[in-house]
Amino acid sequence: MPTSRKFRGALTALVTPFTPTGAIDEAAFKALVRRQIDSCIDGLVLGASTGESPTLNPEEREWLIGTAIEIASERPSRSRINIIANTGSNDTAATIRATRRAAQLGADAAMCVAPYYNKPDQRMMEAHFRAIADGGDLPIIVYNVPSRTGVNIEPATLMRLADHPRIVGVKEASANMEQIATILRERPADFSFFSGDDVWTLSTLAMGGDGVICTCGNEIPGEMAAMCAAAFACDFEAARRIHERWLPLIKANFVGGPNPVPVKAAMAMMGHIPDVLRLPLLPLEEQYRSRLRMVLQTAGLLDTTEGAAGTSTSETGRPAHSRAATAARA
C-alpha cells in the first residue's frame, strides 16, 4: 500500500560479536552485516539492547555504525537499507552528543530509548525527546520498553512528540495491545510504527504497522523481511505462514536468560559468532541450550552433525561450519 513513511520493513537489532577476550570481533561483525544485506533485510539497528549497549563504550559504538555504513556502501544496497544508530540513554546531553556523532558518521536515523532509572514523568520524557530531536541532527525513532526502563511513554505523549518534524517513528514494546492499537489509530500519516516484540509482528502488521525491529532477524533476516513484504502486499496468508513456521524460534530467543543471551547462543550454534557476552551477562545455561539447539535443528538452521556433537563456537571459540545461511534463505 502506498505510504509516505520512509522507515518500514524488518530491521534487525544486530548482536555485537565479541572475541574470547571480550573485544569486538571485527571480522565476525563485518560478516554479520554482509549476511544481513545479502538476505535483503530492510535495515539494521546497531548497539541496541540486543547489541549489548550497556557495555559498549562510545568509540565501540562509533566503530559499529561506521563499519556497517561502509559495508552497506560497497554495493547499491546502501540506497535501500537503513542504518539506525542506537544513541539513547538516560542522560539527555549525552544522547544529543551521541546522536550528532551518528549523524556525522552517516546514519539514517537514531533510536532513543525512554530514560531509565531516573524515572521521568510524561512531561519530562517529552522534554527529553524534544531536546534530542532539536539538537541531534537525525530523525528520531522513540523506543518504548517499560520492562527495561521502568517508565511507559503514554500514547498522548507520543502523539505530541510525533508533531516534531524529526521524530519519525516508534519502536513499541509495551506489551499492551490497547496502547498499540491507540497509537496505530492516532499517529500521523508519516509516523512509522515498529513492533518491539518479535512475536507480535504479524498482529501489528495486520493493524497497519510498518514492520518490526527484531531479535530473530539475527537468525532469519530474509524471512522477517519476507513477512513484512507479504503484509505490505496484503498477502496475509503468506505472512501468517512465515509467522507460524518461525514462531518456536521467536519464542525460544527469550527463554533461559535476558536478551541477547539466547540469541547469541543460537548464532554461535549456527556458526556465525563466538558465544561470548560481557559481564554481567553470561552464556546460556546448558538446560536451556539443549532446548534451543533442538528448536534450531527442527527449523533446519543447524547441521545435524554439529547439533548431535554438541559443538558450537562457545566451545571452540571459532565459528563452526554451518549450512545456516543457506537454510535461512530456503
Burial class from Cβ neighbours inside 10 Å (0-12, 13-18, 19+) for residue 256 reads middle
Q: At what angle do helices 286-299 and 236-252 cross, to 10 degrees?
A: 150
Instruction: Give the C-alpha separation, 83 to 71, whole Å.
Output: 11
Instruction: Give the C-alpha separation, 9 to 82, whole Å.
Output: 10
Closest of 12, 71, 21 to residue 42, by C-alpha: 12
Class of domain 9-234 as given by CATH? alpha beta
Question: Per residue in 69-128, pLDDT tens?
Answer: 999 998 776 678 999 999 999 999 999 999 999 999 999 999 999 999 999 999 999 999
Set 6, 171, 264, 288: catalytic member = 171
**Which pLDDT belongs to residue 99?**
98
Q: Which residues of 300-328 are buried (b: 16+ CB within 10 A; e: fewer)?
A: ebbbeebbeeebbbbeeeebbebbbbebb
Cell (9 digits) for 251: 519464542
Set 30, 117, 143, 251: catalytic member = 143
pLDDT tier, 205 (very low <50, low <70, confident <90, very high otherwise): very high
- Residues 107/85, Cβ–Cβ less than 8 Å: yes
- Residues 171/111, Cβ–Cβ less than 8 Å: yes
**φ, ψ for residue 201 (rounded to 5)?**
-60, -50
328 pLDDT higher than 70: no
Instruction: Give the C-alpha separation, 214 to 16, whole Å.
Output: 14
Residue type at 308? A
Q: What is the mean pLDDT of the chain?
A: 91
**Which pLDDT belongs to residue 313?**
38
Residue type at 327? A
Q: In the chain, which residues fall in CATH 3.20.20.70? A: 9-234
pLDDT tier, 317 (very low <50, low <70, confident <90, very high otherwise): very low
Instruction: Give the C-alpha separation, 50 to 42, whole Å.
Output: 17
143 is annotated as an active-site residue? yes
**Which pLDDT belongs to residue 305?**
54
**Which pLDDT belongs to residue 2?**
54
**Which pLDDT belongs to residue 76?**
75
| CB neighbour list of residue 7: distance below 8 Å, 6 or more residues apart | 43, 82, 84, 108, 109, 139, 141, 168, 169, 192, 194, 210
**Which pLDDT belongs to residue 5?**
86
Q: Which residue shows C-alpha cell 512531561?
A: 123
Question: Per residue in 20-64, pLDDT tens?
Answer: 999 999 999 999 999 999 999 999 999 999 999 999 999 999 999
pLDDT tier, 322 (very low <50, low <70, confident <90, very high otherwise): very low
Question: Per residue in 104-121, pLDDT tens?
Answer: 999 999 999 999 999 999
How long is the chain? 330
State the average pLDDT over residues 167-177.
Answer: 97
Question: Per residue in 257-300, pLDDT tens?
Answer: 999 999 999 999 999 999 999 999 999 999 999 999 999 999 99
Q: What is the distance, to the nearest Å, from the Cα of residue 217 to the centroid of all Cα atoms in its chain?
A: 7
pLDDT tier, 230 (very low <50, low <70, confident <90, very high otherwise): very high
Closest of 119, 132, 200, 195 to residue 161, by C-alpha: 132
**Which pLDDT belongs to residue 87?**
98
Instruction: Give the C-alpha separation, 252 to 257, whole Å.
Output: 10
117 is annotated as an active-site residue? no
